[in-house]
Amino acid sequence: MSLVQEARRRRVLEAAIDLLAEVGWERTTMAAIARRAKISKGLISYHFSGKDEVLTQVVETIVSEVFLRGSERMQPRIAAETTARGMLRAYIESNLEFVAEHWREMRALSEILPNLRDEEGRLRYDVTAEEPIIAATAAMLEHGQRTGEFRDFDAHAVAFSLRRAIDAAAHRLAADPTFDIAHYASEIADLYDQGCRA
């Protein structure tokens, strides 16, 4: 893959992410992506097999590059904690710090995931796509239950609601740039900290 090819593909993917985050799925057309990337429409077809590949590449790029950095940011913060309570708070606050920096990518993902379909009309990424993330959070909560720090609750249900609370911050931030996400993180951490305690 030549430097030009790499640069063009990157440029197209960036334009697609921008548009998905700013104007949503429906208005993210090939023409709009080309306009935003300052290239002609046909050039996208030269570098990608079609719209499908562009959006698939957006997902893969975000998952493999952005989420990797998110993981690198969150893991040490969580691992540094000795208590399950501390881990939960570190998880919530570091995850929301990550959202604050990468809400564009998260918005783009949340536009693609429920909309991108294959030829037969089936969703390319179905609703179970986020299950591993929720399961990982639930495992952390269950650890706290085993140590006796957390009361007996349905860890999956609580992890699910926590995931929604975190994802919602990306939507909110996209719609209202003045949204104080650090304050929100602190409040959500307090809520779940006290709500999970034994």
Q: Which residues bind to a copy of itself, rule: CB under 8 A?
A: 24-27, 114-115, 121, 126-127, 151, 153-154, 157-158, 160-161, 164-165, 168, 172, 175-176, 183-184, 187-188, 190-192, 194-197
Q: Which does 178 bind (CB under 5 to 8 A by kind): DNA, a copy of itself, none?
A: none
Q: Report what 29 binds from DNA, a copy of itself, none; CB cut-off 5-8 Å by kind.
A: DNA
User: With respect to a copy of itself, which residue has the nearer C-beta, 43 or 129?
Assistant: 129
Verify binding: residue 71, DNA, rule CB under 7 A: no
Q: Which is nearer to a copy of itself, 78 or 116 (CB)?
A: 116
CA 48 to chain centroid: 24
Q: Which residues contact 160 (CB under 8 A, 6 or more apart)?
A: 134
User: Among DNA, a copy of itself, none, what binds residue 32 when CB lies within 5 to 8 Å by partner kind?
Assistant: DNA
Q: Give me the least distance between CB of 104 and DNA, in Å please.
A: 20
Neighbour-count burial of 33, counting CB atoms closer than 10 A to its CB (0-12 exposed, 13-18 middle, 19+ buried): buried
Instruction: Note the residues at the interface with DNA (CB under 7 A).
Output: 2, 4-5, 8, 27-32, 39-43, 45-46, 49-52
